[in-house]
Amino acid sequence: MLFTTKKVTIYTDGACKGNPGKGGWGAVLQYKHTTKEIYGGEEDTTNNRMELMAAIKALSSLKRHCDVDLYTDSKYVQQGINSWLENWKKRNWQTAAKKAVKNQDLWQKLDALCQKHTIHWHWVKGHSNHPLNDKADALANKGVEALK
């Protein structure tokens, strides 16, 4: 029996009202002709945590190994995954300045999820009228509003 890898496209975004403050995350997942939208929120959080949470929740919703194109407007997430993560792990979760990595708990969750999928990370400029990024942003704000 031949299994093919599902190709999934994901757009993620995080939002925060105050930093720290009430935060939300949102994601749009597309597989073939199906679109799924997810969102949520947390009290007393930061924008960076919500950006990470959006990617974590989106990848966690995948049921089996997928080939993923993941789009984020967060340089923090994109650079963290592509440039910083391996060195943080080598240095036992310390930065080059010998300080503890912020949001280590979420970076570790995201790292574990990255091992389950083939992920191609893409950065997209936020608030640039990209329909799916704008939708992820709207979902993240919906996550904040759901806390009220």
Domains of the chain: 6-145 (3.30.420.10)
> In sequence order, which residues have a C-beta less than 8 Å from that of residue 128 and are 6 or more positions away?
none
Residue range 50-86, pLDDT digits in tens: 999 999 999 999 999 999 999 999 999 999 999 999 9
127: left (phi over 0), alpha (psi -120 to 50) or beta: left
pTM given for the model: 0.95
Which tokens sit at 95?
Answer: 């930065």
Q: In 127-137, which positions are buried (b, 16+ CB within 10 angstroms) versus exposed (e)?
A: eeebebbbbbb
- For residue 136, CA distances in Å to 3, 6, 51, 148 come to 30, 21, 11, 20
Query: Which residues are catalytic, by number?
Result: 13-14, 51, 73, 127, 137
pLDDT digits (tens, 9 = 90+) for 95-116: 999 999 999 999 999 999 999 9
